[in-house]
Amino acid sequence: MQTPRPLPRTSGRVSRRAFVAGAAAGVVTAVSSPTWAAADDARARFHTVGRVGRAADGTVQYSWPGVCFEGRFRGTGVGIVLDDADNDYDVQIDGTTAATLVTPGRTVSWLDGLPDTEHRVRVVKRTESPWTAGRFGGFVAAPGGVILARPRARSRQIEFIGDSFTAGYGNVSGTRDCSSNGGVNRNSNADLTFGALTARKLDADFQINAFSGLGMVRNYNGTNTGVDFRTYYDRALLHVDGDVWQKPDSWQPRVVVIGLGINDFSTPLNPGERWTTEGALVAAYKSAYHGFLDKLRTRYGPRTFLVVAATRLWNTTAFAEATRRIVEERNLRGDDRVRHWYYDAPGLDFLGCDWHPSVNDHRIVSGLLDEFLAGLSLRW
């Protein structure tokens, strides 16, 4: 392994907090940085996909899974400036995953030993962190190299809204019990979810605004009363009460896929909950869903397709029936760009943590979504 190279004004001590998975494309080292700062002119040098809060020093903070940063550089290596002791990241060079950074902390992680030519780099947040924010400070070129102008944003955009199924909870585990193989975070990868897979096939920028355990009005097993997914949707930083994401004018997705309802309906109602019958829960769910669709329609305008997604639950058909009825009601009001997408497949194995979809399942669901989107009159 090569000797770590610190940024100017930083310490050269190798961070013991940063575990870096092996890189086929080169050598990876991590350097702790007690005087951590953004790379020079950082914001002009990377393209951001996902919701972030921007700081005056050029750094960005974020909470949602799947947020990614893309850059271009010329040279034999690149440094990734991060401040995050909670999340995991994949680093891709020229379209191939070269390393996984596991809870890197306040570090500059270097990927060296590359051919001395122009490269593309992509850093993607694999995990959820609703309790804290990560921070990204840009890319740094190896000696003799240069960070180039950021890549252009893609002309196609798609947004995914949902719960753990959308976030990729435990999807790379290969076993339903994750207690002995690193836990949920080590076995989650938002970049391998059905949404991310479909977006890449469409060559689209995408957001994954998903929060495990939350529903439209009822959370998993009736827990965390007083909040639901709608409490957090408008935020860039999930742990900051009152935070509001400042939507850039450039973010105008042509499709928004909403997958909320598994947590509302997948467990029986408990004594003491607000709803005493499934019918009462369905009524509250439908009312809230219509309000949420109103918000999205106001935000994105009449041309965006709002896809109301549902899947089969083991214990009830209320989820599928309620979402289908919601779409029918919107269509009767004259909004024919609200569509219903029901997905199920006999090949789903649910071998992710805690019976969640596996990577194989996400590939199958992505294929089903591809077929569904192909039937829409999209004008990208």
CATH of the domain at 42: 2.60.120.260
Does 213 share its domain with 347?
yes
pLDDT at 21 over 80: no
For residue 187, give every residue at least 6 positions away whose Cβ sits within 8 Å of its Cβ, in sequence order, or none.
Answer: 170, 171, 172, 173, 178, 181, 352, 353
Q: What one-letter code names the amino acid at 251?
A: W
Query: What phi and psi, each to the nearest 5 degrees, are found at residue 81?
Result: -95, 110
Q: Is the dihedral of CA 110, 113, 117, 118 positive or negative?
A: negative
Does 100 share its domain with 238?
no
pLDDT at 20 over 80: no
Does 124 share its domain with 33?
yes
pLDDT at 30 over 70: no
Does 118 share its domain with 228?
no
Quick check: is 241 in a domain? yes
Does 284 share its domain with 316?
yes
Quick check: is 253 in a domain? yes
Does 143 share its domain with 251?
no
Does 175 share its domain with 71?
no
164 in catalytic set: yes
Does 130 share its domain with 160?
no
Q: What is the mean pLDDT of the chain?
A: 91
Does 98 share its domain with 218?
no
Stretch 19-26: mean pLDDT: 47
Residue 129 has what pLDDT? 97
Does 165 share its domain with 202?
yes
- How far apart CA 117 and CA 97 sit, in angstroms, is 18
Quick check: is 133 in a domain? yes
37-49 as b/e: b if 16+ CB within 10 A: bbbeebbebbbbb
pLDDT at 10 over 60: no
- How far apart CA 350 and CA 85 sit, in angstroms, is 29
Stretch 28-39: mean pLDDT: 61
* CATH number of the domain where residue 231 is located: 3.40.50.1110
What is the share, in percent, of the chain residues with pLDDT greater than 90?
86
- How far apart CA 266 and CA 269 sit, in angstroms, is 9
Q: Of these residues, 15, 164, 173, 358, which one is catalytic?
A: 164
- Is the Cβ–Cβ distance between 172 and 192 less than 8 Å? yes
For 167-212, what is each residue's pLDDT tens digit?
999 999 999 999 999 999 999 999 999 999 999 999 999 999 999 9
**3-class DSSP string for the chain:** CCCCCCCCCCCCCECCCCEECCCCCCEEEEEECCCCCCCCCHHHHCEEECCCEECCCCCEEECCCCCEEEEEEEECCEEEEEEECCCEEEEEECCEEEEEEECCEEEEEEEECCCCEEEEEEEEECCCCCCCCEEEEEEEECCCCEECCCCCCCCEEEEEEECHHHHCCCCCCCCCCCCCCCHHHHCCCHHHCHHHHHHHHCCEEEEEEECCCCCCCCCHHHCCCCCCHHHHCCCCCCCCCCCCCCCCCCCCCCEEEEECCHHHHCCCCCCCCCCCCHHHHHHHHHHHHHHHHHHHHHHHCCCCEEEEEEECCCCCCHHHHHHHHHHHHHHHCCCCCEEEEEECCCCCCCCCHHHCCCHHHHHHHHHHHHHHHHCCCCCC
Q: How many domains does the chain have?
A: 2
Among 147, 168, 189, where does a domain finish? 147
For 132-179, what is each residue's pLDDT tens digit?
999 999 999 999 999 999 999 999 999 999 999 999 999 999 999 999
Q: Which of 274, 267, 163, 285 is nearest to 213 (CA)?
A: 163
Quick check: is 11 in a domain? no
Enter the pTM of the model.
Answer: 0.92
Among 113, 147, 181, where does a domain finish? 147
Beta bridge partners of 102: 19, 88
- How far apart CA 166 and CA 343 sit, in angstroms, is 13
Among 147, 168, 184, where does a domain finish? 147
Only one residue has tokens 């003491």, namely 272
9 confidence band (pLDDT: 50, 70, 90): very low
Quick check: is 332 in a domain? yes
Residue 241 has what pLDDT? 97
345 confidence band (pLDDT: 50, 70, 90): confident
40 confidence band (pLDDT: 50, 70, 90): low
Residue 152 has what pLDDT? 95
Does 72 share its domain with 163?
no
Does 194 share its domain with 327?
yes
Only one residue has tokens 């569904």, namely 372
Residue 124 has what pLDDT? 98
- Is the Cβ–Cβ distance between 187 and 353 less than 8 Å? yes
Domain that holds residue 26: 19-147
- How far apart CA 122 and CA 294 sit, in angstroms, is 34
For 49-98, what is each residue's pLDDT tens digit?
999 998 878 799 999 999 999 999 999 999 999 999 999 999 999 999 99
Quick check: is 229 in a domain? yes
For residue 75, give every residue at least 6 positions away whose Cβ sits within 8 Å of its Cβ, in sequence order, or none.
Answer: 114, 116, 119, 141, 142, 144, 145, 146
Quick check: is 339 in a domain? yes
Residue 14 has what pLDDT? 28
- How far apart CA 355 and CA 353 sit, in angstroms, is 6
Beta bridge partners of 82: 107, 136
Give the lowest-confidence range in 8-17, 122-131, 187-196, 198-207. 8-17
- How far apart CA 293 and CA 308 sit, in angstroms, is 9
The pair of three-digit structure tokens given for residue 100, joined into one six-digit string: 């996984």
Quick check: is 135 in a domain? yes
Residue 13 has what pLDDT? 28
For 249-265, what is each residue's pLDDT tens digit?
999 999 999 999 999 99
Give the lowest-confidence range in 6-15, 238-247, 279-288. 6-15
Residue 23 has what pLDDT? 45
